[in-house]
A and B are shown apart, each in its own frame.
Chain A
Amino acid sequence: MEVVFDNVTYKENSRTPLEKTYLRKFTVSLEGAKVYTFLGDSKSGIDKLGGLINATSSPIIGKVRVNEFVNNGKYIRNVGKLRMNASVIAANPNDMLFNKYVKDELSFGLKYFKYKVNKQSIRVVDALKLVGLSEDYLKRRISDLTISEKKKVAIASSLIFNPEIIVFNEPSMFLINKDKEELIRLINMLVTKYKKMIIITTKDTSFAYSVSDNIYIVNDGEILARGPKTIIENTGVLKVNNLEVPDIIDFVNVSNKMGANLSHTNNILDLIKEVYRNAR
């Protein structure tokens, strides 16, 4: 599986006083079952990547290639296959959920992609379990759910038809710490066990550091830095781009300045072990 952005420029409200350019000469190539994270603030334009990947929006200049499909503003034949293989989960679940009941929402994709329709009832329950919700949620109205429950239903409704590429826009938004940890475990399972490509667009640097393989730092529609996740251990890069330094990296950097010899870790438990080893 492959996602390639080839010199993409994306604008909205062209030829009006409110014209805005979100991506400028954006070029990146993503391949294989990994977690790719695009880090940037609200002005960076990273929230538009999902729409370009699943062809619900089109670039003004350049093209986006997803496996054999090319999105360059022209007609795309068999676009349903593209969208079944590249699913986008919106930052705000209210932008994505439109059915009245949870069951209708989950089974919508299965029904219209005609994917394992005969196993609909089983898949719907399994999708809820995957995101930590019980079967009781099936009969509930979407409008009665809390925002974090809606977020989980949005994730479940995208995973249910087994896409190869999953784009998460601000996945940690509206989730409490416990739910974030469950989501990290889910993402790791999707990559290692089910060989999915995960693309995350976020400004939550702590979440990105915990889960990513490769990180791209985006500012004002351009990629300013790219590399493995260790690039955000360089706090200067983050501060210049208006991004928060993860607490875990800040702690290690400050401790090392005071003479401790700690190495960077992914999560708090490993950090505690590292501190314990050093303290002896």
Chain B
Amino acid sequence: MLDNKYFTSFYPVNSSIHKLNPVIKILCFLLMLVPIIASSDISLHLIMLFAVIYLLYSSKVPFRFYFDTVYSLRFILLIVVLLLAFKDFYMENAACIIIKIVLVMLYLSMMFYTTSPSELKYGIEKILSPFNLFNINISPLINASVNALVFFPNLFITEKRVLVSASSRGVDYFHTDIISRFYALMLSFKNTFRLARERNKKVIFSASLKGYSTHKYRTNLRTNKVTFNDVFMIVLFVGFIAFYVWQRSIS
């Protein structure tokens, strides 16, 4: 199950965050974007960061998975800091921008780790359901988008299997130097990509066999109901927006 550590893959444990309704999670992300885009007050961003870290802790997904996600952004963050220094931004503004990027990545990671692909599709469908009033069928687009997201964990899982098989037959990846590892990756990449695409097609096909049609409303048997925790989340993120509005009114 260590394969579930990749960004956009689902990590199945029993936590309060896993039990949240997917619509509420997506709605809270959209609410969180409002102060992230509009505000440049570092105190608000720090409060939001601590709130999100508490949510990460409650998700029972190992912290090092989230750390790996943020660590992979280190070069982007470095470039942002250098660009801001070049433009004579203050340290506080630079820190604020970095916290914005980290907040978005952490919340998205948490959402993907704690929401299964079918629940995610359900959540996005519900959020975008007003488009159905204009006779636009959004289900195929959402299905394609979520399937595209699920492709990347599939790719990494398939890559690992291919590397183990290739290592067993002469192209070692595990007990060798970085150049040989790079060679092993390059050699297996074409087959890995082909197999991941085939696997993705089978996943989509088996989903359609279970009634996940993109042409009409799907039956979602395991969607988490809205509970007190969901209401608390909404109130929390609305609270951030209210804090931002209050700050603006007094300034």
Contact = CB atoms under 8 A, between A and B. Distances in A.
Interface of A: 12-13, 15-18, 51, 54-56, 75-76, 79-80, 83-84, 87-88, 90, 95-100, 108-109, 111-114, 143, 157-158, 161
Interface in B121-180: 161-162, 164-172, 174-176
B168 A79 contact: no
Contacts of A161: 169
Contact of A112 (B170, B175, B192, B195): B170
Contact of B13 (A17, A88, A111, A157): A17
A95 B161 contact: yes
B194 A56 contact: no
B1 interface: yes
Nearest to A12: B2
Interface of B: 1-2, 13, 60, 62, 161-162, 164-172, 174-176, 188, 191-192, 194-195, 198
18 contacts: A13-B1, A18-B1, A18-B13, A51-B164, A56-B167, A79-B175, A80-B172, A83-B167, A83-B170, A83-B172, A87-B168, A98-B188, A109-B169, A112-B170, A112-B171, A113-B170, A158-B169, A161-B169
A102 B159 CA distance: 20
A93 B175 CA distance: 24
B27 to A, nearest CB: 27
B170 A96 contact: no
Contacts of B188: 98
A88 B164 CA distance: 11
Contacts of A56: 164, 167-168, 174
Nearest to B192: A98
B189 to A, nearest CB: 11
Contact of A13 (B2, B164, B172, B198): B2
B186 to A, nearest CB: 14
A70 B185 CA distance: 26
A96 B175 contact: no
- Kindly list the 10 A-B residue pairs having the minimum CB-CB distance in the complex, ordered from nearest: A112-B170, A109-B169, A79-B175, A113-B170, A98-B162, A18-B1, A98-B191, A16-B62, A76-B175, A56-B164
A239 B62 CA distance: 39
Contacts of B169: 83, 108-109, 112-113, 157-158, 161
A80 B170 contact: yes
B231 to A, nearest CB: 27
Contacts of A100: 191, 194
Contacts of A158: 169
A54 B168 contact: yes
Contacts of A87: 168
A51 B198 CA distance: 26
A111 B174 CA distance: 19
Given A79-B174, A98-B188, 15 more contacts: A13-B1, A13-B2, A16-B2, A18-B1, A54-B168, A76-B175, A79-B172, A84-B170, A98-B161, A98-B162, A98-B165, A98-B166, A109-B170, A112-B166, A161-B169
Nearest to A89: B168
A153 to B, nearest CB: 13
Contacts of B175: 55, 75-76, 79
Contact of B170 (A16, A76, A111): A111
Nearest to A16: B62
Nearest to A160: B169
A76 B176 CA distance: 9
